[in-house]
Amino acid sequence: MSTDTDHAVADFDAGTITRTIRIEAPIGTVWTALTSPEHIATWWGHPSEFPDGWQAGSLGHFVWEDHTFPVRIDELDPPTAFALTWGDLDTTLEQSAAATQVRFTLTAAGDTTTVTVLETGFDRLDAAARRAAMDENTGGWNTVLDALRDYTAGRATPADLQAVR
């Protein structure tokens, strides 16, 4: 059984970051918050733009102030799995030397949802770039997943988070 981890865990040798959290909300609520651009902008704090819609294979980007990160949705399997690949600031995925894949896995136990995040691909970077990128993203997953938990466990109204679409 998965358990919460207080912080994201970086495995520098494998080039991965993982974190598991439990959210006191049904899986459909968590899925909707995790995969709906209007909700992502609220709990993540940054909007996403996907001109072709939110589906496997879609290309878009996350916006950070005046910058963008390219994103491709790799997997969308409601309500249990969602994966994306994202790249370097202000590039395309093809130009990105540091693109990584982020996979969210959701499991339900009644009205509680366990979310596990696994970010992979850092092993392609040299040691200094790997350390810097993993340190930054490890801290980011701590902040972002805590925000997702807070948002879905009570800060959004039930009307905002309809069941899986």
Tell me what pLDDT residue 5 has: 64
Q: Strand runs (DSSP E) across the chain, as ranges?
A: 9-11, 16-23, 48-49, 59-64, 67-77, 81-86, 100-109, 112-120
Q: Which fold has domain 9-155?
A: Alpha-D-Glucose-1,6-Bisphosphate; Chain A, domain 4 (3.30.530)
pLDDT higher at 162 or 135: 135
Q: What is the pLDDT of residues 36-46, one digit of tens each?
A: 988 998 888 88
Secondary structure (3-state) at 71 = strand
pTM for this predicted structure: 0.89
User: Residue 154 — pLDDT band, cuts 50, 70, 90?
Assistant: confident
